[in-house]
Amino acid sequence: MKPINIVLLSFGMSGRVFHAPFIDMHPGLTLYGVLERTKQESLQFYPTIKIFRSLTDVLVDPNVDLVVVNTPNNTHYEFTKKVLEAGKHAVVEKAFTTTVAEAVELAALSSQKGLLLSVYQNRRYDSDFNTVKQVIESGVLGKIHEAEFHYDRYRYELSPKLHKEIPGPGAGILNDLGPHLIDQALSLFGMPSQIFADIRTIRPDSKVDDCFTIIFYYPDKRVTLKSSILVREPLPASIVHGIKGTFIKNRADVQEAALIANIKPTISNWGVEPASEQGLLHTEIDGKIVRNKVPSAVGNYYAYYEGIYDALIQKTNPPVTAHDGINVMKIIEAAQSSNGNLIQL
Protein backbone atom coordinates (compact mmCIF):
# COMPACT_ATOMS: atom_id res chain seq x y z
CA MET A 1 0.00 0.00 0.00
CA LYS A 2 1.26 3.47 -0.92
CA PRO A 3 2.45 5.42 2.13
CA ILE A 4 0.54 8.56 3.05
CA ASN A 5 2.59 11.59 2.05
CA ILE A 6 2.58 14.37 4.65
CA VAL A 7 3.82 17.97 4.44
CA LEU A 8 4.53 20.24 7.42
CA LEU A 9 3.78 23.94 6.93
CA SER A 10 6.67 24.97 9.19
CA PHE A 11 9.80 23.51 10.78
CA GLY A 12 10.09 25.41 14.04
CA MET A 13 9.86 23.63 17.37
CA SER A 14 6.43 22.23 16.57
CA GLY A 15 7.46 20.68 13.27
CA ARG A 16 10.92 19.48 14.31
CA VAL A 17 10.02 18.22 17.78
CA PHE A 18 6.40 17.11 17.87
CA HIS A 19 5.48 16.10 14.32
CA ALA A 20 8.38 15.10 12.08
CA PRO A 21 9.95 12.35 14.28
CA PHE A 22 6.70 10.43 14.62
CA ILE A 23 5.66 10.79 11.00
CA ASP A 24 9.13 9.66 9.93
CA MET A 25 9.11 6.53 12.10
CA HIS A 26 5.65 5.33 11.06
CA PRO A 27 5.84 2.65 8.32
CA GLY A 28 2.62 3.82 6.68
CA LEU A 29 3.43 7.54 6.69
CA THR A 30 6.06 9.48 4.76
CA LEU A 31 7.42 12.91 5.65
CA TYR A 32 7.19 14.04 2.05
CA GLY A 33 8.07 17.69 2.50
CA VAL A 34 8.27 20.86 4.57
CA LEU A 35 7.26 24.40 3.72
CA GLU A 36 10.24 26.69 4.39
CA ARG A 37 9.89 29.98 2.56
CA THR A 38 13.57 30.97 2.64
CA LYS A 39 15.51 28.35 4.61
CA GLN A 40 15.96 24.60 4.32
CA GLU A 41 16.81 23.62 7.89
CA SER A 42 14.64 20.50 7.70
CA LEU A 43 17.11 18.95 5.24
CA GLN A 44 19.67 18.66 8.05
CA PHE A 45 17.36 16.16 9.73
CA TYR A 46 15.56 14.65 6.71
CA PRO A 47 17.81 15.05 3.65
CA THR A 48 15.50 13.29 1.18
CA ILE A 49 12.37 15.38 1.73
CA LYS A 50 11.06 18.05 -0.63
CA ILE A 51 11.30 21.74 0.25
CA PHE A 52 8.29 23.87 -0.67
CA ARG A 53 8.49 27.65 -0.90
CA SER A 54 4.77 28.51 -0.80
CA LEU A 55 1.47 27.05 0.34
CA THR A 56 0.32 27.10 -3.28
CA ASP A 57 3.21 24.83 -4.23
CA VAL A 58 2.13 22.38 -1.54
CA LEU A 59 -1.49 22.36 -2.59
CA VAL A 60 -0.89 21.81 -6.32
CA ASP A 61 1.42 18.85 -5.73
CA PRO A 62 -0.66 15.73 -6.51
CA ASN A 63 1.60 13.57 -4.32
CA VAL A 64 0.62 15.39 -1.12
CA ASP A 65 -2.07 13.53 0.85
CA LEU A 66 -2.13 15.32 4.20
CA VAL A 67 -0.97 18.73 5.37
CA VAL A 68 -0.04 19.59 8.96
CA VAL A 69 -1.02 23.20 9.66
CA ASN A 70 1.49 23.99 12.40
CA THR A 71 1.72 27.73 11.77
CA PRO A 72 0.71 30.60 14.15
CA ASN A 73 -2.82 30.35 15.55
CA ASN A 74 -4.18 33.28 13.56
CA THR A 75 -3.39 31.48 10.27
CA HIS A 76 -5.03 28.15 11.13
CA TYR A 77 -8.45 28.92 9.70
CA GLU A 78 -7.22 30.43 6.43
CA PHE A 79 -4.58 27.78 5.73
CA THR A 80 -6.72 24.82 6.77
CA LYS A 81 -9.60 26.00 4.59
CA LYS A 82 -7.25 26.18 1.59
CA VAL A 83 -5.88 22.71 2.37
CA LEU A 84 -9.36 21.19 2.51
CA GLU A 85 -10.52 23.03 -0.60
CA ALA A 86 -7.51 21.55 -2.41
CA GLY A 87 -8.71 18.05 -1.49
CA LYS A 88 -5.99 17.34 1.10
CA HIS A 89 -6.50 15.88 4.58
CA ALA A 90 -5.52 18.19 7.43
CA VAL A 91 -4.03 18.03 10.92
CA VAL A 92 -4.20 21.38 12.70
CA GLU A 93 -2.10 22.43 15.67
CA LYS A 94 -3.85 23.77 18.75
CA ALA A 95 -5.51 26.18 19.13
CA PHE A 96 -7.75 24.84 16.36
CA THR A 97 -8.91 28.29 15.22
CA THR A 98 -9.50 31.69 16.80
CA THR A 99 -13.33 31.46 16.94
CA VAL A 100 -16.01 28.81 17.28
CA ALA A 101 -17.54 29.90 13.97
CA GLU A 102 -14.27 29.23 12.13
CA ALA A 103 -13.97 25.79 13.73
CA VAL A 104 -17.54 24.86 12.81
CA GLU A 105 -17.01 25.99 9.22
CA LEU A 106 -13.86 23.91 8.82
CA ALA A 107 -15.54 20.84 10.32
CA ALA A 108 -18.44 21.20 7.90
CA LEU A 109 -16.09 21.64 4.94
CA SER A 110 -14.09 18.52 5.82
CA SER A 111 -17.29 16.50 6.19
CA GLN A 112 -18.66 17.79 2.89
CA LYS A 113 -15.48 16.79 1.07
CA GLY A 114 -15.02 13.50 2.91
CA LEU A 115 -11.61 14.54 4.24
CA LEU A 116 -9.92 13.89 7.55
CA LEU A 117 -9.64 16.90 9.86
CA SER A 118 -7.98 16.45 13.25
CA VAL A 119 -6.61 18.78 15.91
CA TYR A 120 -3.16 17.89 17.25
CA GLN A 121 -3.47 17.46 21.01
CA ASN A 122 -0.25 15.69 22.00
CA ARG A 123 -0.79 16.26 25.73
CA ARG A 124 -3.40 13.50 25.69
CA TYR A 125 -0.37 11.23 25.27
CA ASP A 126 1.72 12.57 28.16
CA SER A 127 2.68 9.98 30.77
CA ASP A 128 1.35 12.06 33.66
CA PHE A 129 -2.05 12.63 32.07
CA ASN A 130 -2.41 8.98 31.13
CA THR A 131 -1.54 8.01 34.71
CA VAL A 132 -4.26 10.31 36.05
CA LYS A 133 -6.73 8.91 33.53
CA GLN A 134 -5.95 5.33 34.54
CA VAL A 135 -6.36 6.11 38.24
CA ILE A 136 -9.73 7.81 37.67
CA GLU A 137 -10.99 5.02 35.43
CA SER A 138 -9.87 2.34 37.92
CA GLY A 139 -12.43 3.64 40.43
CA VAL A 140 -10.02 3.62 43.39
CA LEU A 141 -10.92 7.23 44.21
CA GLY A 142 -14.62 6.60 44.11
CA LYS A 143 -16.93 9.21 42.59
CA ILE A 144 -14.90 12.28 41.63
CA HIS A 145 -16.12 15.52 43.21
CA GLU A 146 -13.21 17.89 42.52
CA ALA A 147 -10.12 18.13 40.32
CA GLU A 148 -7.49 20.78 39.66
CA PHE A 149 -5.06 20.84 36.73
CA HIS A 150 -2.07 23.15 36.32
CA TYR A 151 0.16 24.00 33.38
CA ASP A 152 2.60 26.64 34.61
CA ARG A 153 5.92 28.09 33.48
CA TYR A 154 8.31 30.77 34.60
CA ARG A 155 9.32 33.27 31.95
CA TYR A 156 9.50 36.90 33.01
CA GLU A 157 10.77 38.06 29.63
CA LEU A 158 8.49 38.22 26.62
CA SER A 159 8.64 35.38 24.12
CA PRO A 160 10.84 35.91 21.04
CA LYS A 161 7.90 34.46 19.07
CA LEU A 162 6.20 37.78 18.46
CA HIS A 163 2.93 36.26 17.29
CA LYS A 164 2.46 35.02 20.86
CA GLU A 165 3.00 38.47 22.42
CA ILE A 166 1.22 40.84 20.04
CA PRO A 167 -2.46 41.35 20.92
CA GLY A 168 -4.79 39.84 18.37
CA PRO A 169 -6.74 36.70 17.52
CA GLY A 170 -5.05 33.57 18.87
CA ALA A 171 -2.53 35.37 21.09
CA GLY A 172 -2.03 34.91 24.82
CA ILE A 173 -1.69 32.00 27.23
CA LEU A 174 -5.36 31.05 27.01
CA ASN A 175 -4.81 30.17 23.34
CA ASP A 176 -1.33 28.72 23.92
CA LEU A 177 -1.42 26.48 27.00
CA GLY A 178 -5.17 26.70 27.52
CA PRO A 179 -6.09 24.20 24.77
CA HIS A 180 -3.94 21.52 26.45
CA LEU A 181 -5.67 21.82 29.82
CA ILE A 182 -9.14 22.27 28.35
CA ASP A 183 -8.84 19.28 26.02
CA GLN A 184 -7.57 17.06 28.82
CA ALA A 185 -10.40 18.09 31.14
CA LEU A 186 -13.02 17.58 28.43
CA SER A 187 -11.62 14.17 27.50
CA LEU A 188 -11.89 13.10 31.16
CA PHE A 189 -15.20 14.64 32.18
CA GLY A 190 -17.03 15.94 29.08
CA MET A 191 -18.52 19.40 28.54
CA PRO A 192 -19.48 21.31 31.70
CA SER A 193 -22.83 23.04 32.09
CA GLN A 194 -21.25 26.36 33.14
CA ILE A 195 -17.81 27.95 33.41
CA PHE A 196 -16.22 30.83 35.27
CA ALA A 197 -12.97 32.43 34.08
CA ASP A 198 -10.49 34.92 35.48
CA ILE A 199 -7.99 35.93 32.77
CA ARG A 200 -5.17 38.34 33.63
CA THR A 201 -1.99 39.99 32.42
CA ILE A 202 0.65 39.90 35.17
CA ARG A 203 4.06 40.58 33.54
CA PRO A 204 4.80 44.32 33.47
CA ASP A 205 5.66 44.44 29.75
CA SER A 206 3.10 41.95 28.53
CA LYS A 207 0.29 43.07 26.22
CA VAL A 208 -1.52 39.71 26.20
CA ASP A 209 -3.04 37.45 28.84
CA ASP A 210 -0.42 35.37 30.67
CA CYS A 211 -2.40 33.96 33.58
CA PHE A 212 -5.82 32.33 33.86
CA THR A 213 -8.12 30.33 36.08
CA ILE A 214 -11.12 28.55 34.59
CA ILE A 215 -13.65 26.63 36.67
CA PHE A 216 -15.83 23.97 35.02
CA TYR A 217 -19.19 23.47 36.74
CA TYR A 218 -20.80 20.04 36.55
CA PRO A 219 -23.85 18.90 38.54
CA ASP A 220 -21.66 16.66 40.72
CA LYS A 221 -18.16 18.14 40.55
CA ARG A 222 -15.95 21.18 40.00
CA VAL A 223 -12.85 21.11 37.79
CA THR A 224 -10.35 23.99 37.99
CA LEU A 225 -7.79 24.75 35.29
CA LYS A 226 -4.91 27.11 36.11
CA SER A 227 -2.00 28.40 34.06
CA SER A 228 0.51 31.16 34.69
CA ILE A 229 3.73 32.31 33.09
CA LEU A 230 5.16 33.42 36.47
CA VAL A 231 5.27 30.25 38.57
CA ARG A 232 8.89 29.53 39.46
CA GLU A 233 8.20 26.53 41.70
CA PRO A 234 5.94 24.05 39.87
CA LEU A 235 2.82 22.85 41.64
CA PRO A 236 1.37 19.40 41.06
CA ALA A 237 -0.04 19.20 37.56
CA SER A 238 -3.04 17.15 38.67
CA ILE A 239 -4.94 16.93 41.95
CA VAL A 240 -8.03 14.71 41.89
CA HIS A 241 -10.37 14.18 44.83
CA GLY A 242 -12.95 11.41 45.01
CA ILE A 243 -15.26 10.35 47.82
CA LYS A 244 -12.76 7.64 48.79
CA GLY A 245 -9.43 9.41 48.29
CA THR A 246 -7.01 11.68 46.48
CA PHE A 247 -4.44 11.32 43.71
CA ILE A 248 -1.66 13.86 43.15
CA LYS A 249 0.67 13.83 40.14
CA ASN A 250 3.44 16.11 38.92
CA ARG A 251 3.93 17.05 35.27
CA ALA A 252 6.81 14.76 34.47
CA ASP A 253 6.51 13.54 30.88
CA VAL A 254 10.00 13.14 29.41
CA GLN A 255 9.18 13.13 25.70
CA GLU A 256 9.47 16.85 24.93
CA ALA A 257 12.91 17.19 26.55
CA ALA A 258 14.16 14.11 24.71
CA LEU A 259 12.86 15.36 21.37
CA ILE A 260 14.41 18.80 21.85
CA ALA A 261 17.73 17.00 22.48
CA ASN A 262 17.24 15.22 19.11
CA ILE A 263 16.77 11.83 20.77
CA LYS A 264 14.78 9.66 18.38
CA PRO A 265 11.59 8.04 19.70
CA THR A 266 12.86 4.57 18.83
CA ILE A 267 14.72 3.84 22.06
CA SER A 268 13.35 1.01 24.22
CA ASN A 269 12.53 3.19 27.24
CA TRP A 270 10.77 5.95 25.27
CA GLY A 271 8.24 7.90 27.33
CA VAL A 272 9.19 6.26 30.65
CA GLU A 273 9.22 8.67 33.59
CA PRO A 274 11.79 8.46 36.41
CA ALA A 275 10.46 6.41 39.33
CA SER A 276 10.90 9.49 41.51
CA GLU A 277 8.00 11.15 39.65
CA GLN A 278 5.38 8.58 40.54
CA GLY A 279 2.06 10.01 41.69
CA LEU A 280 0.72 9.75 45.25
CA LEU A 281 -2.48 7.78 45.88
CA HIS A 282 -4.17 8.15 49.28
CA THR A 283 -7.46 6.29 49.36
CA GLU A 284 -9.47 3.39 50.75
CA ILE A 285 -9.28 -0.02 49.04
CA ASP A 286 -11.24 -3.02 50.35
CA GLY A 287 -11.84 -1.27 53.66
CA LYS A 288 -8.17 -0.39 54.23
CA ILE A 289 -6.58 3.06 53.99
CA VAL A 290 -3.61 3.03 51.62
CA ARG A 291 -1.09 5.75 50.90
CA ASN A 292 1.41 4.74 48.24
CA LYS A 293 3.04 5.65 44.95
CA VAL A 294 1.48 4.66 41.63
CA PRO A 295 3.73 3.53 38.75
CA SER A 296 3.45 6.01 35.87
CA ALA A 297 1.92 5.17 32.54
CA VAL A 298 4.20 5.43 29.51
CA GLY A 299 3.97 8.57 27.38
CA ASN A 300 3.65 8.03 23.65
CA TYR A 301 3.11 10.82 21.11
CA TYR A 302 3.50 8.21 18.37
CA ALA A 303 -0.01 6.98 19.22
CA TYR A 304 -1.49 10.15 17.75
CA TYR A 305 -0.08 9.49 14.27
CA GLU A 306 -0.90 5.80 14.58
CA GLY A 307 -4.48 6.98 15.09
CA ILE A 308 -4.27 9.28 12.07
CA TYR A 309 -3.06 6.38 9.93
CA ASP A 310 -5.88 4.13 11.15
CA ALA A 311 -8.43 6.87 10.47
CA LEU A 312 -7.24 7.18 6.88
CA ILE A 313 -6.81 3.48 6.14
CA GLN A 314 -9.36 1.78 8.39
CA LYS A 315 -11.84 4.70 8.38
CA THR A 316 -11.89 4.87 12.18
CA ASN A 317 -12.47 8.15 14.00
CA PRO A 318 -9.33 10.29 14.21
CA PRO A 319 -7.65 10.39 17.64
CA VAL A 320 -8.84 13.98 18.13
CA THR A 321 -11.88 14.95 16.10
CA ALA A 322 -12.91 18.29 14.66
CA HIS A 323 -15.82 18.15 17.12
CA ASP A 324 -13.29 17.89 19.98
CA GLY A 325 -11.62 20.99 18.57
CA ILE A 326 -14.94 22.84 18.39
CA ASN A 327 -15.64 22.08 22.06
CA VAL A 328 -12.25 23.46 23.09
CA MET A 329 -12.98 26.63 21.14
CA LYS A 330 -16.39 26.90 22.83
CA ILE A 331 -14.67 26.89 26.22
CA ILE A 332 -12.06 29.45 25.14
CA GLU A 333 -14.70 31.75 23.67
CA ALA A 334 -16.87 31.46 26.76
CA ALA A 335 -13.87 32.12 29.01
CA GLN A 336 -13.05 35.27 27.06
CA SER A 337 -16.65 36.42 27.57
CA SER A 338 -16.76 35.52 31.26
CA ASN A 339 -14.76 38.42 32.72
CA GLY A 340 -15.46 37.14 36.21
CA ASN A 341 -19.05 36.09 35.50
CA LEU A 342 -20.58 32.64 35.36
CA ILE A 343 -21.27 31.60 31.75
CA GLN A 344 -23.92 29.09 30.74
CA LEU A 345 -22.86 26.66 27.99
Q: Does domain 4-122+304-316 have CATH number 3.40.50.720?
A: yes
Mean pLDDT of the 128-134 span? 98
Q: Find the Cα–Cα–Cα–Cα dihedral 130, 133, 135, 140, rounded to 10°.
A: -170
Sign of the torsion formed by the C-alpha atoms of 185, 187, 188 and 189? positive
Between CA 8 and CA 20 the distance in angstroms is: 8
**What pLDDT band is residue 304 in, cutting at 50, 70 and 90?**
very high
pTM of the model: 0.95
Mean pLDDT of the 85-102 span? 98
Between CA 73 and CA 96 the distance in angstroms is: 7
* pLDDT for position 339: 76
**What stretch(es) of the chain map to CATH 3.40.50.720?**
4-122+304-316
Q: What is the pLDDT of residues 17-42, one digit of tens each?
A: 999 999 999 999 999 999 999 999 99
Percent of the chain at pLDDT > 90 equals 93
Query: Which is more confidently placed, 85 or 266?
Result: 85
**What pLDDT band is residue 162 in, cutting at 50, 70 and 90?**
confident
Q: What architecture is the 123-299+330-344 domain classified under in CATH?
A: 2-Layer Sandwich (3.30)
**What stretch(es) of the chain map to CATH 3.30.360.10?**
123-299+330-344
* pLDDT for position 118: 98
Mean pLDDT of the 83-98 span? 98
Q: What is the pLDDT of residues 308-334, one digit of tens each?
A: 999 999 999 999 999 999 999 999 999
Between CA 224 and CA 294 the distance in angstroms is: 23
Q: List all residues 6 or more positions away from 115 whose beta carbon is below 8 Å from its beta carbon.
A: 84, 87, 88, 89, 90
Percent of the chain at pLDDT > 70 equals 100
